[in-house]
Structure 1
Amino acid sequence: MSSLLEVTDLVVEYPGKGFRAQPLRALKGVSLDIRPGETMGLVGESGSGKTTLGRAVLGLAPVTRGSIRYDGREIGALSRRARRALSDEIQVVFQDPYSSLNPSLTIEQILTEPLTARGTAAKDAKGRVQDLLDGVGLPSGVATRLPREFSGGQRQRIAIARALALDPRLIVCDEPVSALDLSTQARVLDLFIEIQERTGVAYLFISHDLAVVRHISHRVAVMYQGELVETGDGDQVTARPAHPYTQRLFLAAPVPDPDEQAKRRAARRTLLAAQSSELAA
């Protein structure tokens, strides 16, 4: 199956601060691909570059070198107008459901806004709202309410509905459940899976949590200091990681069993000590 998104040797640099400062290289030759209907989980700690990769795909981060191809078309250096035209097919769900929705608009206005911007008639756009709310498990009566009247999980469902409004083929999900409690996380993740099975949309799913990406991803890529250090089948990478950094991420994930948690902490300390000794040598 041909790839929907192909990222090849991608380099992203930001100007350094101060006179003659060296540029900050956030991505160092990253390559990955996403197939139609697939979830690619991108995992790493804060500052690893995973969000920068998502922003580059969305056209929100500068591409210094390398290639981003969507459906066979180079999109890494598109103009702003061309990017707007591409927004029908590539959408985003942000991390914070509290700040990603306009607090002064009703849910109906939030969901019809991208449709009317595309040129959909107001009557048709209003009719589409019901389908979108049904698709994310919210009743039609919420359309006249404001975002502040909803819980975090409900707001994220609204954000997902907005991303689905234009029937995209790819959604960049940037830590979409990290601001939610654990039980709500599980429900939202199941919603993502159900939507994918129903629509065939592909996800670039960005997270710092291996347990989250294991639940939703077909394949997983692990990022460390701007580079991909391990890529493979989701079950293999998240349960039997090969790279030492991925092993540290695996051991850092909390588990409900205190004895197992203590074993993980000890194993992580042993792994860190062994890696420190290797570096010192």
Structure 2
Amino acid sequence: MTALLTVSDLRLRYPGRGLRAKSAEVLRGVSLVIAPGETLGLVGESGSGKTTLGRAVLGLAAPTGGSISFGGKDITHLNHRERRPLARDIQVVFQDPYTSLNPALQIADILSEPLIAQGTDAKHARASVSALLDRVGLPAGAAERYPREFSGGQRQRVAIARALALRPKLIVCDEPVSALDLTTQARVLDLFMELQRETGVAYLFITHDLSVVRHISHRVAVMYQGELVETGSVRNVTNTPQNEYTRRLLLAAPTADPDRQAKRREARRQLLIAPA
């Protein structure tokens, strides 16, 4: 498998708050690979370190050990100026579609902004807006509106359009559907997959929900307390998990069937009380 993104033995430690506070190691030797056009689902509970890993890939958190390479180039310790050209190839979609969009700007300005920042003149950048909106299923008239005028699902489509503006090779998706209702989640996930088929973009898809991972991912990496405890194909990890923590995550996923939900809760309780 040809690697697009390679994370090798990555470690990251945050300093403690206060004069004598101990530092906390958030990532403990994490290694993973993403191929071009692939979706790797990174799943774990809050505090597992999955978002910190995404931030490290984006250059928003500084690793204290290990390495990150993209397209064969080491990007672990690039400074802000050195990372700027990399924005063409690595983009992000955040969890909250409202706070990630500037409420003072119209959608046309939001979508043309990354193009202008990369050197495209304003006229050509604005001309690309209609095509971007069409690609994510929004009407051209949306360009003259503000983020507050859209629903959560529509705002997330705008955020996806912004991420696609520079035609990146990788998009880091940090809980991009967790703030949406179930129906809207399904539509946005289908949009992600459709865009991947059209553009060949790869996703690092960060989520706490294994049902979402099952829907969109090719492979799954399960993170617990800063370490990857299980990695494999989506079928193997979600159908026959080998790690106890992965089994607990699967049993914690909600289901609409009350009887099945009760059985899951009991099975999870038995796992939690079982001797180590």
Deviation at 1:247, TM superposition (A): 0.2
Structure 2: which 5+ residue stretches go unaligned? none
Letter in 1 for 2:115: L
Rounded to whole Å, the distance in 2 between the matches of 1:170 and 1:211 is: 22
Corresponding residue of 1:176: 176
* Corresponding residue SS for 2:180: coil
Rounded to whole Å, the distance in 2 between the matches of 1:119 and 1:208 is: 37
Corresponding residue of 2:32: 32
The 5 A counterparts of 1:75-154 are: 75-154=75-154
* Corresponding residue SS for 2:76: coil
Rounded to whole Å, the distance in 2 between the matches of 1:30 and 1:190 is: 29
Rounded to whole Å, the distance in 2 between the matches of 1:15 and 1:28 is: 15
Rounded to whole Å, the distance in 1 between the matches of 2:168 and 2:62 is: 23
- State the Cα deviation string for residues 14-68 of structure 1 (Å, max 9, x = none): 1012233321100000000000000000000000000000000000011100010
Rounded to whole Å, the distance in 1 between the matches of 2:20 and 2:143 is: 53
The 5 A counterparts of 1:226-245 are: 226-245=226-245
Deviation at 1:239, TM superposition (A): 2.3
* Corresponding residue SS for 1:111: helix
Rounded to whole Å, the distance in 2 between the matches of 1:127 and 1:119 is: 15
Q: Which runs of 4+ in 1 moved over 6 A?
A: none
1:73 aligns with 2:73: yes
Paired residues in the alignment total 276
Structure 1: which 5+ residue stretches go unaligned? none
Letter in 2 for 1:233: S
Rounded to whole Å, the distance in 2 between the matches of 1:135 and 1:239 is: 34
Rounded to whole Å, the distance in 2 between the matches of 1:161 and 1:30 is: 30
Deviation at 1:190, TM superposition (A): 0.2
* Corresponding residue SS for 1:92: strand
1:165 aligns with 2:169: no
* Corresponding residue SS for 1:230: strand
Rounded to whole Å, the distance in 2 between the matches of 1:186 and 1:17 is: 40
Rounded to whole Å, the distance in 1 between the matches of 2:115 and 2:126 is: 9
Corresponding residue of 2:49: 49
Rounded to whole Å, the distance in 2 between the matches of 1:58 and 1:121 is: 25
Rounded to whole Å, the distance in 2 between the matches of 1:207 and 1:240 is: 20
* Corresponding residue SS for 1:87: helix
Deviation at 1:120, TM superposition (A): 0.8
TM-score of the aligned structures, taking structure 1 as reference length: 0.97
- State the Cα deviation string for residues 192-216 of structure 1 (Å, max 9, x = none): 0000000000000000000001100
Corresponding residue of 1:256: 256
Q: What root-mean-square deviation, in Å, do the aligned CA atoms of Structure 1 and Structure 2 show?
A: 0.7
TM-score of the aligned structures, taking structure 2 as reference length: 0.99
Corresponding residue of 1:63: 63
1:12 aligns with 2:2: no
Rounded to whole Å, the distance in 1 between the matches of 2:15 and 2:272 is: 33
Letter in 1 for 2:270: T
* Corresponding residue SS for 1:32: strand
Deviation at 1:145, TM superposition (A): 0.4
Rounded to whole Å, the distance in 2 between the matches of 1:224 and 1:240 is: 18
Corresponding residue of 1:155: 155
Rounded to whole Å, the distance in 2 between the matches of 1:92 and 1:122 is: 22
Deviation at 1:122, TM superposition (A): 1.7
